[in-house]
């Protein structure tokens, strides 16, 4: 499993772009099962579901735009701020 330090490192990079976000969401999906890292599994799962919603919306929009290599402006304008808020809340659950 992943350590708290590793999770913090992943989280610091997760909001960089849609691809980093998608990777982070995928890597954290089952972390609620690690009771040494996540003391409140129900809260983690509820919050993770919100991460997945942002992920799904962002990936769907990226796909609708023809899967461009550079989608940074769209990510910043439409999703980054929400992703940052969710990351902060998620990290509170483990600190």
DSSP letter string over 13-77? HHTSSHHHHHHHHHHHTTGGG-TTT-S-HHHHHHHHHHHHHHHHHHHHHHHHTT--S--HHHHII
Indicate whether 26 pLDDT > 90: yes
Model pLDDT for residues 37-62, shown as the tens digit of each residue: 999 999 999 999 999 999 999 999 99
Indicate whether 95 pLDDT > 90: no
Residue from 35, 13, 11, 27 nearest 92 by CA: 11
């Amino acid at each position: 499993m992943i350590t708290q330090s590793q999770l913090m490192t992943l989280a610091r990079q997760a909001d960089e772009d849609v691809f980093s976000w998608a990777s982070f969401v995928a890597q954290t999906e089952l972390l609620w099962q690690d009771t040494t890292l996540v003391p409140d599994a129900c809260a983690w799962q509820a919050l993770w579901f919100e991460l997945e919603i942002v992920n799904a919306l962002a990936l769907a929009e990226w796909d609708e735009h023809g899967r461009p290599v550079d989608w940074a402006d769209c990510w910043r304008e439409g999703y980054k701020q929400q992703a940052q808020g969710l990351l902060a809340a998620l990290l509170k659950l483990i600190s």
